[in-house]
Amino acid sequence: MENSVRIKVGLASCGIAAGGLDVLEKVENFLKEHDVDAQLEHTGCIGMCYAEVLMEIDDEEFGSTMYGYLNAADIDDILNAHFVEKKPLTDHIIFSDKLGGEEKVILDYQTRIVLRNCGVIDPESIDEYIERGGYEALQKVLKDMSPVDVIEEIKESGLRGRGGAGFPTGLKWQFAYNNYADKKYVICNADEGDPGAFMDRSVLEGDPHAVLEGMLIGAYAIGSDTGFIYCRAEYPLAVKRLRIAIEKAKEKGFLGSNIMGSDFNFDLTVYEGAGAFVCGEETALMCSIEGKRGMPTLRPPYPAESGLWGKPTNINNVETYSNVAWIIRNGAKKYAEFGTEKSKGTKVFALTGKIKNGGLVEVPMGMTLRDVIYKVGGGIIEDRKFKAVQLGGPSGGCIPESLLDTPVDYDSLTKTGAIMGSGGMVVMDDTTCMVDMARFFLNFTQDESCGKCTFCRIGTKRMLEILNRITQGKGEPGDIEILEDLSRKTIKGSLCGLGQTAPNPVLTTIKYFRDEYEAHINDKTCPAGVCKDLIKYLIIEDKCIGCGACKRACPVDAITGEKKEVHAINQDICTKCGACMTACKFDAVEKL
């Protein structure tokens, strides 16, 4: 009989980085030493990355109890209180069936379809996936549905591609189905490269079989027998769990020949990308799989007509495939109940930046940005003033506070100048310089450009040079207009999505924060106090008592002054590190 007491420790990348393996070892030792009869497991990320390490105890006495913010030193006290004293320590409880816990509201605001199993099952156990309805959708498809039936169901659901552009998934499958060929391919794009994005990684680490099942159904629908998962090599844990999932699916007969007794055959290979951001673009990705340099090619022909090795190919990303089995099991109409008229279902976001509850969330399409950031994300760290949110990564745009009530759907976000993208959401407070933020993202895309297109290669370089000058206090009148002109030409003259969207952070920051650009150029000041060349630290005479703390903290000996005398900062030597301000306990150092 299976043990009724289960203990799960979060061992996704976020949990391991926070010390999850040490916690797991401590729990294991405690159970042995105290002869506690419990089943110890590991699981993926439930989304509360900010509270890692997480540990869930599920027993008859207290129900499900989630402990968070753990380290190895906490474990003996927590388990002793829970199992021996029968008085659980509430300080570490995030939420519980019987003991309360305020943070459950974060999950209550969400609708978890893609993340339905993440943080719930052992990602390396195919049996646990099956216990929660895994591979039932595949069985239904092979037994009761034709390829056309499957495509129509996905079309009726309204599922749009979650990789960025939002193209209707069912329609994409229809195109691949309609192109007859002796060979067709299915590809999962897991080459997640946006700064601040980790949605795909967490799904692959927490529920890899959902991706496999979605790919199997897609392959059946278009008539493919071969698939590839293109995953960046920087995701070693995701790659490891994918390969384990593939092997176990083969053992169960879900991959290979005559799947589930049918005449459907499908084999799957994990292909590790070398980290080039441009390989997230589907034509560059296919070039990489073919062994060529990852560079985009002209479309048409589109992959559905001529893709991998010239054969019809369907490409969707991790999140898109993770929706498919749920839709088949629960029906297109049920899925379409979530979201808006043109943006159905849910969307997974990676909340990062200056937000309290950083991590993964899955919300219905149509929820406002304000609710995502303040209700689900808990608001801004230290309750500082919200300034902007960057959506869509380097390809997206910065949305200001005045647009916080914008619904999260494809069309509404596009109207702001941003895009949905794959789901990165970087939150910024009033300490962020928007010119520097635009420079940061453009530096990324310029560095990641494959160089094939002149405007992407040279246009982004010239734009970055201008932004560097502006943040260094060397901006000139007319620079803003040149940036806008170069942006338009780069968008028009670039072959793929990288170049076509690279100017978005620049254009949106100019649109919504033009005054910051003008302050940098005309007044030679950085309102946020970020750009080092435009700030200086001064010691206020009537506040300085000559304690010498600032002088001792300065790494370049830029501060002069005798003990109990007013000190001064040599601006020619000062590196603007801010150590003096941090060291001063009398607020005698100001940043101007």
pLDDT, position 1: 36
Question: Cα-flanking dihedrals φ and ψ of residue 317, to 5°?
Answer: -95, 180
Question: What Cα–Cα distance (Å) separates residue 185 from each residue in 86, 246, 281, 490, 514?
Answer: 56, 17, 17, 32, 47
Question: What Cα–Cα distance (Å) separates residue 592 from each residue in 100, 553, 576, 580?
Answer: 47, 19, 11, 14
At residue 317, the 3 state secondary structure works out as strand
At residue 567, the 3 state secondary structure works out as coil
The 8-class DSSP code of residue 409 comes to S
Question: What Cα–Cα distance (Å) separates residue 277 from each residue in 191, 230, 334, 417, 445?
Answer: 8, 12, 36, 22, 8
- Cβ neighbour number for residue 527 with a 10 Å cutoff: 17
At residue 434, the 3 state secondary structure works out as helix
pLDDT in tens, the chain (592 residues): 356 899 999 999 999 999 999 999 999 999 999 999 999 999 999 999 999 999 999 999 899 999 999 999 999 999 999 999 999 998 899 999 887 777 888 899 999 999 999 999 999 999 999 999 999 999 999 999 999 999 999 999 999 999 877 899 999 999 999 999 999 999 999 999 888 889 999 999 999 999 999 999 999 999 999 999 999 999 999 999 999 999 999 999 999 999 999 999 999 999 999 889 999 999 999 999 999 999 999 889 999 999 999 999 999 999 999 999 999 999 999 999 999 999 999 999 999 999 999 999 999 999 999 999 999 999 999 999 999 999 988 888 999 999 999 999 999 999 999 988 888 899 999 999 999 999 999 999 999 999 999 999 999 999 999 999 999 999 999 999 999 999 999 999 999 989 999 999 999 999 999 999 999 999 999 999 999 999 999 999 999 999 999 999 999 999 999 999 999 999 999 999 999 999 999 999 999 8
**Distance separating alpha carbons of residues 392 and 421, to the nearest angstrom:** 4
Q: Specify the pTM.
A: 0.92
Question: What Cα–Cα distance (Å) separates residue 102 from each residue in 97, 107, 173, 470?
Answer: 12, 11, 43, 45
> 364: which 2 tokens?
């219905």
The 8-class DSSP code of residue 374 comes to I
Q: Angle, nearest 10°, between helix axes 147-157 and 208-222?
A: 120
List of domains in the chain:
6-103 (3.40.30.10), 126-336 (3.40.50.11540), 346-429 (3.10.20.600), 434-523 (1.20.1440.230), 536-591 (3.30.70.20)
Task: Classify the C-alpha dihedral 377-380-381-382 as positive or negative.
Answer: negative
pLDDT, position 435: 98
H helices of 331-409, in order, are: 332-336, 369-371
H helices of 346-478, in order, are: 369-371, 410-416, 434-448, 454, 460-471
**Distance separating alpha carbons of residues 460 and 507, to the nearest angstrom:** 13
Specify burial of residue 284 (Cβ count, 10 A radius: 0-12, 13-18, 19+): buried
pLDDT, position 104: 83
What residues contact residue 178 under an 8 Å CB cut-off, 6+ apart?
Answer: none
CB 454 within 8 A of CB 494: no
At residue 74, the 3 state secondary structure works out as helix
pLDDT, position 226: 98
Nearest to 230, CA basis, from 192, 194, 271, 202: 271
At residue 46, the 3 state secondary structure works out as coil
**Distance separating alpha carbons of residues 139 and 137, to the nearest angstrom:** 5
For 496-536, give the DSSP string: SHHHHHTTHHHHHHHHHHHHHHHIIIII---TTS--GGG--
